[in-house]
Amino acid sequence: MSPVLGTKSQTEILLFPWLCQTGILILMNPSGQPEPVAALPPAPRTSTARWERYFALLMRFHQTHGHFRCPGGSDKNPASRCLYTWVVMQRRMKLLGRLRPEFERRLNAVGFPWVNESLAIAAEKWAANFAKLARFHQKFGHCWVPAGSPQYAALSNWLRGQRNSHNAGELKPEYVARLEALGVAWDPRHCPDGTWNERVAELVAFRERFGHCRVPLYWPENLALGAWVRTQRNHCLHLLRREPERFAQLEAVGFVWGGNRAKIRWL
């Protein structure tokens, strides 16, 4: 009886090596349902025979989906990892100069991409978002993108993701260097001394002009100041506990803490 893939079971895990050798694979179609791929008869355990078997599976996948972005597989479909692993291996072997010339010619003939398309697309998206951040910096002189701005919501979300990746140690060093060169602060709660003094001076000028420190979030004359004021208000406890000098400086100019004033009284 043939095993049925698509559901996680002990049988699938035990049969996984056998499936890789025999070439019986079941891939996922775009709807997420298992899709049988032609089961090839067992071939002699030679590198050429295995290569031909997986090349045939790759062409079947390309015919069905129109691309070579083979899924990596999952617990529900462990056998699809076989084709994915084979594709990765072809790229790695070419990079090391160990791929047979005839195999490379066959893959080139069908338009096989030697660079992972998914990674290339991700790199293009990162570059596009970085360009948007650079334009924001050129316009406003900083990288404090307001989170609640409809115009910059997507850029703010992207920047938050970069900070999270950096703090988790998952951001590429080249990306870290480019963002730091642009002036991105990894902890949005901490404002560099130069920027802090500049914003406080702007807040004092705002109070002298309007008689209070309730800067609108989307104040058209200074979007950076509105975003900065909201950030300090949201992180009032951080300022009080970790940077009391700055907290006292804001208190002295009449900073409005809003509903967070109740939190401060409890400390």
The per-residue DSSP string of the chain comes to -----SS--HHHHHHHHHHHHHT--EEEPTTS-EEE-PPPPP--S-HHHHHHHHHHHHHHHHHHHSS------BTTBTTHHHHHHHHHHHHHHHHTT-S-HHHHHHHHHTT--SS-HHHHHHHHHHHHHHHHHHHHHHHHSS----TT-TTTHHHHHHHHHHHHHHHTT-S-HHHHHHHHHHT--SSTT---HHHHHHHHHHHHHHHHHHSS----TT-TT-HHHHHHHHHHHHTHHHHHHH-HHHHHHHHHTT---GGGHHHHHT-
The Cα–Cα gap between 96 and 166 comes to 30
- pLDDT at residue 40 is higher than 60: no
Q: Which domain holds residue 150?
A: 117-182
Encode pLDDT of 203-254 as tens digits.
Answer: 999 999 999 999 998 888 888 888 888 888 888 888 888 888 989 999 999 9
Report the pLDDT value the prediction gives residue 30, as an integer from 0 to 100: 44
- pLDDT at residue 12 is higher than 50: no
Encode pLDDT of 52-98 as tens digits.
Answer: 999 999 999 889 888 888 877 555 566 577 888 898 899 889 888 99
Residues 130 and 209 in one domain: no
Structure tokens at 116: 């992972």
Report the pLDDT value the prediction gives residue 43, as an integer from 0 to 100: 40
Task: Specify if 59 maps to a domain.
Answer: yes
Total number of domains constituting the chain: 3
**Domain finish residue from 109, 126, 149:** 109
Cβ contact 126:82 at 8 Å: no
- pLDDT at residue 35 is higher than 70: no
Encode pLDDT of 97-134 as tens digits.
Answer: 999 999 999 999 999 988 777 777 788 889 999 999 99
Task: Specify if 125 maps to a domain.
Answer: yes
Task: Specify if 188 maps to a domain.
Answer: no
Residues 18 and 70 in one domain: yes
Report the pLDDT value the prediction gives residue 139, as an integer from 0 to 100: 84
Report the pLDDT value the prediction gives residue 24, as an integer from 0 to 100: 41
Residues 42 and 83 in one domain: yes
Residues 33 and 103 in one domain: yes
Global confidence as pTM = 0.48
- 139-153 in b/e form (b: 16+ CB < 10 A) is eeebbbbbbeeeebe
User: What DSSP state is assigned to residue 74?
Assistant: B
Highest-confidence range of 4-13, 15-24, 223-232, by mean pLDDT?
A: 223-232
- pLDDT at residue 47 is higher than 70: yes
Task: Specify if 16 maps to a domain.
Answer: yes
Report the pLDDT value the prediction gives residue 51, as an integer from 0 to 100: 92
- pLDDT at residue 48 is higher than 80: yes
Report the pLDDT value the prediction gives residue 15, as an integer from 0 to 100: 41
- pLDDT at residue 18 is higher than 80: no
Residues 14 and 57 in one domain: yes
Task: Specify if 1 maps to a domain.
Answer: no
Report the pLDDT value the prediction gives residue 104, as an integer from 0 to 100: 93
Residues 138 and 101 in one domain: no
**Domain finish residue from 109, 143, 172:** 109
Task: Specify if 3 maps to a domain.
Answer: no
Residues 103 and 121 in one domain: no
**Domain finish residue from 73, 90, 109:** 109
